[in-house]
Amino acid sequence: MSDGGWLWAVFTIIAAAAQTARNATQRELTARLGTVGATHVRFLFGFPFALIFLAGIMVASGQALPRPPLVYWPWIIAGALAQIMATALMLAAMNERSFVVVYAYIKTEPVQAALFGLAFLGDAVTAALGAAIVIATAGVVVMALKPGTSWDLRATLLGIAAGAMFAFSAVGFRGAILSLGPASYVMAATFTVAVGLLLQSALLSLYLWLRERDALGAIVRSWFLGALASQFWFLAFALATAASVRTLALVEVLFAQAISRFVFKQPTSPREAVGIVLIVAGVALLVWAH
C-alpha cells in the first residue's frame, strides 16, 4: 500500500465532520426505533453506498477485488462486532447526558486505541504522538467537566465503554486492511468497508427480525446515510495508525460544539474555550509529528 502523506489527515477530518452530523441525527432516531434499531440504521443504509463506492473504485482503477487471506476474517469480524457494540453504547449514553458531554466521554478513545494498536498491531507510540494524545484528550475532559453539574456514573461508564469499543474496532479494521497486503490502500479500505457493513447489516437484520420486527419495518421507512463517514475512516486507517487517526478525530468534539452553538444557540463558556485550545494544540502536535 502506498504512502498517502497528508491524505490520512484530510480523510480523517472529512470522516469526523460526517460522523458528527450522522451521530446527531442518529440520536433523534433512538426514541423512534430503539437503541438496536437506531444502531442498525447506520449500517444497513450505508451498505448500498459502500457497494457503489467499491464498484466505482474497480471501474476507475481497473483493479480486481482483493482475495482476503484467512487472517483477514478474525480482524474484520472483531472490528464489525466492536463497532456495533460501540454505536449501541454511544446511543445509550446519549439518552443519559447531553450530546457534547457524551462525545467527551467517548473521546477517551485515542488513549485506548494507542494501547490496542500497540498490543495487537505493534503500532509504535512516539513521544510526540503520546504528548498529542494527552493534550487533546485533556482538552476533551476540560470541556466535559462542567462546574455545578452532577456527575452521572452510568453515562460516564457507557461513554468510556463506547470509546473502548470504537478504539478496538479501529484496530480491528486497520488489521484487516493491512492483512490484504499488496492491494492499493484505496481498494483495501473500500473493500473492507463493504465487507464490514455486510457483516453488520446481516447480523443486526437477523436480530431485529427475530426480536423487534416493528423496528425493522420502521428502519426501512427511515433513510439514513451512513457510508460517507465509514469510507473516509477506512481510507485514513489504511494510511496511519489507529491512534493517530483517532487523536485527530477529536476534532469531532469541536464540530459537536459548533452544532451546539450555532444550531442550538448554546454559548461557549470560558472553560469550553480552554478545552478547545487544548484539543487544537494536541491535534497540531499530532499533525506536526507526522
Rounded-to-integer distance, Cα 239 and Cα 214, Å: 41
Angle between helices 270-289 and 251-258 (to 10 degrees): 150
Region 152-167: what's the mean pLDDT?
84
Rounded-to-integer distance, Cα 100 and Cα 24, Å: 10
- Flag whether pLDDT at 203 surpasses 80: yes
Considering only CA atoms, which of 249, 256, 253, 259 is closest in space to residue 277? 253
Longest C-alpha distance within the chain, in Å?
Answer: 59
- Flag whether pLDDT at 156 surpasses 60: yes
- Which pLDDT value is given to residue 58? 93
Rounded-to-integer distance, Cα 204 and Cα 183, Å: 30
- Which pLDDT value is given to residue 84? 92
Mark 133-166 as b/e (b = at least 16 C-beta within 10 Å): bbbbbbbbebbbebeeeeebeebbebbbbbbbbb
Query: Would you place residue 188 in the very low, low, confident or very high pLDDT band (cuts 50, 70, 90)?
Result: very high
- Which pLDDT value is given to residue 253? 74
C-beta separation of 168 from 78 below 8 A: yes
Reported as a single tens digit per residue, the pLDDT across 225-266 is 456 777 788 888 888 888 788 778 777 777 777 766 666 566
- Which pLDDT value is given to residue 138? 80
Domain boundaries of the chain, sorted by first residue: 7-132+150-249
> Which DSSP string corresponds to 114-179?
HHHHHHHH-----HHHHHHHHHHHHHHHHHH--TT----HHHHHHHHHHHHHHHHHHHHHHHHHHH
Higher pLDDT, 3 or 30: 30
- Which pLDDT value is given to residue 228? 72
